[in-house]
Amino acid sequence: MDSTLNVRLSTIISDGPNSNLNKTENSQPAIMAMSILILRILQEHFGFDASTRIDVTLGHSLGEYASLVAGGYLEFGPALKMVRRRAEIMAQCTADARKLTGETYGMVALVCEPNRLADLITTIQEFLDHGSRSNDEINYELSPMQQVSIANVNSKNQIVLSGSIERIKHLLIQLRQFSGHDPRAVRLRSESPFHSPVMKPAADYMRKALEHVEIKFSASIPCISNVSAVPFRSKEDLKDLLSRQCVETVRWWDSIRYLDQERGVKRWIGIGPGKVGRNLVGKEVGKVSTRGGGVWAICDPREIEQVLTDLSKSDENTVI
């Protein structure tokens, strides 16, 4: 890992300081590396054969790269190098946006009643199409640095907005004053506007980088695209969608519904730091009545044995 990146990432992970680890260019490859480390421990120390035990792979945002490695589409080393460079460009995109506009950037989660999500998304899109401006503002085209985007649709009652924090606040005022919506808003820890037009240079980089990376589309395990919410269909489809993922919405909820309703997945295993993904899946499909079905998270190698014991109880379709 360190030799691949020419960076002592293992030292940053183990020794910190957190201020260094939390930098985008370090945190993103670190998260991916830890996810694949857990997968390798599963494979090499517990005899876990992904090709026979896993029916489909799926990853949220950055996790899409780990899911492509797990599914056999990308090799770990080249994928890690792309993730590191992608993260460096994303960090620079954020710095450039701040310098150009003087605004603060980030992401805000909105939580609403489940039966109001579709209308909330439609209303937000209508406001965004009009430039998120009040009546006394000049009618002008907003630059990518100033736009607000829907970064994630995470569940039946949660979306995430990305972009200028001031413009997100302005959008929330409009929603509450003029649309009848009053979602609970939670500022996320991210100081970068991921999955927004600000990240276009990262999308451009990925499009070029993927032309020089070996992609094995003979991989036997389907992998779900964040952008389309269905499996990648070809090498060209993968290159296109993985590039666009930098600036487009992560359709997580649609992906979960597709796997649940159309693929009949009953067992869901999250691997890697944190349990956010497991919790998002659990909210949607956590009450699995099928024997052996359920949702698990392996955030630490010490959790592996219990998860494998639970998985041995049935042969239901499994996503990782």
> Could you tell me which residues come within 8 angstroms of residue 57 by beta carbon, excluding any fewer than 6 positions away?
67, 68, 70, 71, 221, 222, 223, 224, 319, 320
Residue for token pair 């494979």: 43
Quote helix, strand, coil % in the chain, to nearest 5. Answer: 50, 15, 35
User: Residue 52's CB: how many other CB atoms inside 10 A?
Assistant: 9
Look up 195 and say whether it is catalytic. yes
Q: Is 27 a catalytic residue?
A: no
CB 267 within 8 A of CB 290: no
Beta-carbon contacts of 287 under 8 Å, excluding residues fewer than 6 positions away, are none
**Backbone CA torsion sign across 169, 171, 173, 179:** negative
Which one of the listed residues 27, 35, 149, 195 is annotated catalytic?
195
SS3 of 57, please? strand
Asked whether the beta carbons of 206 and 246 are under 8 A apart, the reply is yes
What number of residues does the chain have? 320
Active-site residue among 27, 35, 60, 61?
Answer: 61
Q: Name the 3-class secondary structure at 126.
A: helix
Cis-peptide into 17, omega within 30 deg: yes
Catalytic residues: 61, 195
